[in-house]
Structure 1
């Protein structure tokens, strides 16, 4: 078997092995419960009564309770539109002005947050943020606002950048609570909570924030993408998938399954979707308890930040500011919040994966190229050129080695005749020949193997980063994050038939223009070398481009575009370099030989006779 062909088959097998190992070994780890974390009081069940809190321990209010009908305060910023409810002061109605659900002209805006109750058919499940105070030190739970408290609009009319709104609530027992909401031009809210003590005795209470989701959200169900809880705990990234939240420890005081971690200086926690995120962000240097909770009965998923208990003297006022990110995971925006606002490692809310040391610089370069060119498709092609230039020294050695091996073919044939059926002696003589001529047969495989992590990293970048969503290229490619929409089954739109959907068996045959170009580019690259004489190897080479065409046909168009560009550049490099070193590939001769029926070998003919 020709060593060049062995290398190509080996590289293909390695590709499948990497996929298998990635899926098996690098699955997201199960969440663990900190055994040293302090016990916390439970949130009451919907419509229930909060249990008594232990001394000096806050009891978190029920985010799961349905809020009563109440007036709303409009939210209108350059990037967001929605409202907050005076019932509980919940931020529970938020849509993103810059993003639509689909590319259809009549598509609605992406809705991030939705209220509890009154849900219209097809509307998103309840998803919201709520803030409050937990009683401590003997303070009655009725003395603090909860998720159903009706607040009064004290100042402001519409929440917008530069125009905050303030809500107030008097408990009638000498405590006056205020909550001030402000928002920037992008996606960051600041929530200021204060309590004024007009009683004659000191009180103890603790502020908290909650992000809650009712029911299991519709996720991508793709192993390469994390969706669920995401957060940072003193520099350590925390991820818990929705399916793993039921594995959290059952905590009686929590009324469900919970994980509590103590954060000393910096952190944030919330829920991430593929492109969107809602996260609670305490101020820099603020210690707090980070909580992940799942309530099985009501199917509520929660993340919480519980701040330390405050002692408020008679006549004094205590206040605290926290932040809430609710919006799109735009790289530039969240990098600004990380570098300029001080939210620790906020860029890691994007799921860079295990190859983060490749995905981060690849995306940074792609983002820069897009800013320069203005078209993500051409940026991917130029990125491919840059990557190929970086690995060119290895590729050059590989192609030179392949050219030298071609020159050694006559010597190889003599060795076969000399050693006859003695395979071991042939291998020894062949290795000696390679050593004498300073040829490394494995060097041809190295560039191919090197392409595997680069391929996965670019796949990750194209799949998870928002900047590729709905990004057009040319002609029919309107979304580089989606598969090619054309299909060979309706002659690429010439026939008046719809293409089969994903539930149809014919869906796998519904490939478009880009996948077909991918198969052709792989086939042409193979034709730089003669068809192997071994029938089994020849069959593998014959089918490999078309198998990959169907395998990658349903991948994102941006990834298929990268692979076509990569094959084209590789073809050009190999042809030129091998020609410069005395072995010009007989491309057209190899194409003719690959489609022409071969005559049986003389030995086979003799055996038949």
Structure 2
């Protein structure tokens, strides 16, 4: 290597000398280099070069830097679009949707389907989400350059009055509404953007709130960055949220869509991340000052006429009204469905943000969706379609009312022509009743052409299900391969209940890049294959699934179903594969529609907790899985709930349950302890036998067996309690792992420590200063929080081991005990992220075990268990004299060791004795 470096430098110097006239001097002798000049190896570091070489390099650098600076200052580069998008704009006869398709092919995802920004910090941003009025946005905007607008002769997909994306909501966060959900619907895509659980408990607190955040909640605003002013544009305000209940100094109540937030908590904001950073320093119940710019009253008519949100921002900047609101923050409701870019600390690089329950055409006459594509070529991504929205109120017979939203979009002849069809109208509804975890859905298509058309619909599933606890939870799976934080679950008459792990789908996508989706079922002529009971996404404690419509027990109109990831499989880190985003889709059977005829498919969307009673009421009981020892886990879970109803604290209930279970097994534990004591008494004799038959294994075993038979000792008697205790311990562990009632239940109500028994106790946050190798989510050994309860568990394990481990009698035993101590300490790494409820179980069980051994030791019979004469073989044990009292194992061993005589032959088979000849 040194010789190669020496020759390379030498010939480089000769080339510079001959080509540029640059004379390089020998660093020692000041002579010119030649191919024969020997140079010390270390001298290459101190090469002395002629001044002309230094001047040439310096002048070149200064010229290049100056040219770059002047070009950027006086000749800025044009705001060029991506190659795929520019090609679509340059095509004179291109459909407006070609722009969308070209962007997708070029890697430029839509504003709702974006790959998350590098980095998993809370401040990570979505750099590809266009702001309202942004020239790079494909949303209709009057401020966009003419080149960004589609040609006037191009077909328009929107025939309704609204020409801009709108947002609306179903349900409410107000307890008086009796709604258990708040669903945000996006008009761009006509699908679910967010779903929050707002059910209240008996204390009027959120029954299911986010347990991974402790700061205040303002409400989901579908925020976008404003254009003409520094601020954040509000697109939607959910009913009953703190933003909707905020009060202004001038008497106005609630923020409104079109408002621009310019200041929060006295701090100026220009992006949503600025608002989030202020909220992270607040607490529930705290008041927060919000300054907004609101469109003047004279512009409200223009807003109602359908001007876009960008025009609202312009009007606000031209004639704004400044309002100062005060909002009282609350706890954060669980956002069961959300866009991946709003994941906060659980934002995973590579996961895509995409709306849930999108709808498109799966087949038009002879044109259908190909292979791994998700829409028909020519129609474009359905997430870019802008639907018209109509809100309705439905009577329910009581004070509470059900809400319904109707969305529709008309695909023109020109748009459909490139897809092999003619004009059709797509429509869908979302309906939500009070006190329900179910959203009623319907999808429909109407043929607007004179000729009949063969149509099939595609309904995408949900995605972006909450990642709560993915870095510490351990979801039980019925498959050998395990499960991820989110899995696809379904049930058909042919396959029964099945779970497809998210990690399995990720591996399939990496292996089969051309066809990343994994098929679930297809119409193969058998009705049982396509008889679908439910299909959805399953998390640790929650499930979101499609169900048959009310009054039906199965969905039979779907001909195909597949599952896949909603992510860039190449960007998902190996240690975060469990958190991959995934979804599925359903294709209806092809139906021929005459002119004006409509095909409609009804179903329901369940989005709620995996409470056994709730799941069973909706046909989802299979999703609550306790494992092999369910027959033990379920009764113990019921007993735990009974104890909680008595004492009112799940921490105390877990301790009482552990004491009851261990106390019921005390007789077995005492018998095992007596057997262990007898074994210790036989240890010296066993050691003598081992020394006597050092090289004879068969003789050693025979002598040990004879000794045990002589004294009446059964070595298997101590194993029976262990076999009986194992299902009970595992069942108790499963009951505490699966039971959702432990979620959000505190150990102590007066402190935030151990406020969620279904997760780690999170005594202190150390993720800011501890290296990611230890504190990272998914890749860290310990996690981002210091947990105190696992430290107590390991300390008790070590104490129990030191108190009851017999002293070492030789070097091998001493080494074994040292290894056991090290392994027990290492268990602390595995127990460090165990939920607090399980830690309480281990603490109570260890304390009971210590007390039990002390009590058992005092109740053991005094004196020797065996007569010394029996041990020496001079006296026969009474147990051996009475065969009827011998153990089953001894009798089986004697039976196997006894060699029976061969049965006598039958008379006709006997040989005659030889006849003796007479002499």
Q: Which TM-score band (shorter chain)? A: 0.5 to 0.7
Partner of residue 323 from structure 1, selected from 581, 600, 604: 604
Asked if structure 1 preserves the Cα contact closer than 8 Å seen for 2:360 and 2:382, the reply is yes
Q: 1:464 to 1:90 in 2, by over 3 A?
A: same
CA deviations on 1:251-300 (whole Å, 9 max, x unpaired) are 96x6x444241342233333334344433334432232221134777988
Asked if structure 1 preserves the Cα contact closer than 8 Å seen for 2:363 and 2:457, the reply is no
- Root mean square deviation, CA, Å: 4.8
For 2:755, the equivalent position in structure 1 comes to 478
State the shift of 1:220 in Å. 3.2
For 2:165, the equivalent position in structure 1 comes to 70
SS state of the match for residue 402, structure 2? coil
1: CA distance, partners of 2:863 / 2:187: 77
CA deviations on 1:300-330 (whole Å, 9 max, x unpaired) are 8431122222333445433211222334x33
For 1:166, the equivalent position in structure 2 comes to 406
SS state of the match for residue 843, structure 2? helix
State the shift of 1:191 in Å. 0.5
2: CA distance, partners of 1:88 / 1:397: 68
Is the aligned partner of 1:285 residue 2:554? yes
SS state of the match for residue 101, structure 2? coil
Asked if structure 2 preserves the Cα contact closer than 8 Å seen for 1:75 and 1:158, the reply is no
For 2:336, the equivalent position in structure 1 comes to 112
Partner of residue 803 from structure 2, selected from 509, 519, 527: 527
1:6-25 residue pairs with structure 2 within 5 A? none
SS state of the match for residue 548, structure 1? helix
2: CA distance, partners of 1:520 / 1:244: 41
Is the aligned partner of 1:233 residue 2:488? no
SS state of the match for residue 204, structure 1? strand
Partner of residue 134 from structure 1, selected from 362, 370, 376: 362
CA deviations on 1:117-171 (whole Å, 9 max, x unpaired) are 9x79879552431234434335897899944332222341799962222223344
Asked if structure 2 preserves the Cα contact closer than 8 Å seen for 1:179 and 1:194, the reply is yes
Asked if structure 2 preserves the Cα contact closer than 8 Å seen for 1:264 and 1:285, the reply is no
Select between 568-577 and 229-238 the one with higher mean Cα deviation: 568-577
State the shift of 1:503 in Å. 4.0
SS state of the match for residue 207, structure 1? strand
Q: 1:48 to 1:527 in 2, by over 3 A?
A: same
For 1:591, the equivalent position in structure 2 comes to none
For 1:582, the equivalent position in structure 2 comes to 861
2: CA distance, partners of 1:170 / 1:436: 93
1: CA distance, partners of 2:724 / 2:771: 35
2: CA distance, partners of 1:301 / 1:499: 33
Q: 1:541 to 1:230 in 2, by over 3 A?
A: same
1: CA distance, partners of 2:469 / 2:759: 16
Asked if structure 2 preserves the Cα contact closer than 8 Å seen for 1:192 and 1:319, the reply is yes
Asked if structure 1 preserves the Cα contact closer than 8 Å seen for 2:473 and 2:540, the reply is no
1: CA distance, partners of 2:769 / 2:863: 43
2: CA distance, partners of 1:302 / 1:497: 31
Q: 1:161 to 1:207 in 2, by over 3 A?
A: farther
1: CA distance, partners of 2:99 / 2:537: 22
Q: 1:115 to 1:513 in 2, by over 3 A?
A: closer
Select between 564-573 and 359-368 the one with higher mean Cα deviation: 359-368
TM-score between both structures, scaled by the size of structure 1: 0.68
State the shift of 1:511 in Å. 6.9
For 1:25, the equivalent position in structure 2 comes to none
State the shift of 1:548 in Å. 2.5
Asked if structure 2 preserves the Cα contact closer than 8 Å seen for 1:156 and 1:165, the reply is yes
TM-score between both structures, scaled by the size of structure 2: 0.47
Q: 1:427 to 1:459 in 2, by over 3 A?
A: same
CA deviations on 1:513-550 (whole Å, 9 max, x unpaired) are 66336533653466356434334434544674675255
Q: 1:414 to 1:293 in 2, by over 3 A?
A: closer
2: CA distance, partners of 1:568 / 1:582: 24
1: CA distance, partners of 2:465 / 2:554: 33
For 2:706, the equivalent position in structure 1 comes to 432
1: CA distance, partners of 2:99 / 2:669: 64
2: CA distance, partners of 1:468 / 1:499: 31
Partner of residue 156 from structure 1, selected from 392, 414, 421: 392
SS state of the match for residue 477, structure 1? coil
Asked if structure 2 preserves the Cα contact closer than 8 Å seen for 1:294 and 1:301, the reply is yes
1:155-554 residue pairs with structure 2 within 5 A? 155-156=391-392, 162-171=402-411, 175-184=424-433, 185-197=435-447, 199-211=449-461, 213=463, 220=470, 224-225=474-475, 226-227=483-484, 228-234=486-492, 235-242=496-503, 244-247=505-508, 250=512, 256-262=516-522, 263-283=529-549, 284-287=553-556, 288=558, 289-294=560-565, 301-327=582-608, 329-332=609-612, 335-337=613-615, 339-341=616-618, 343=619, 346-350=620-624, 352-353=626-627, 359=633, 362-388=636-662, 391-392=665-666, 394-405=668-679, 409=681, 413=684, 421-423=692-694, 428-448=702-722, 455=729, 458-463=732-737, 465-474=739-748, 476-485=753-762, 503=773, 512=788, 515-516=791-792, 518-520=794-796, 523-524=799-800, 527-528=803-804, 530-538=806-814, 540-541=816-817, 544=820, 547-548=823-824, 551-552=827-828, 553-554=831-832
Q: Which has the higher contact order (CA 8 A, sep 6+)?
A: 1
Select between 358-367 and 84-93 the one with higher mean Cα deviation: 358-367
Unaligned runs of 5+ in 1: 1-43, 51-61, 488-492, 586-609
Q: Which has the higher strand share?
A: 1
Asked if structure 1 preserves the Cα contact closer than 8 Å seen for 2:363 and 2:456, the reply is yes
State the shift of 1:99 in Å. 1.1
Alignment size in residue pairs: 512
Partner of residue 48 from structure 1, selected from 87, 101, 109: 101
SS state of the match for residue 672, structure 2? helix
For 2:296, the equivalent position in structure 1 comes to none
State the shift of 1:109 in Å. 3.8
2: CA distance, partners of 1:373 / 1:250: 55
Instruction: Give the number of the structure whose alpha-carbon radius of gyration is greater.
Output: 2
SS state of the match for residue 164, structure 1? strand
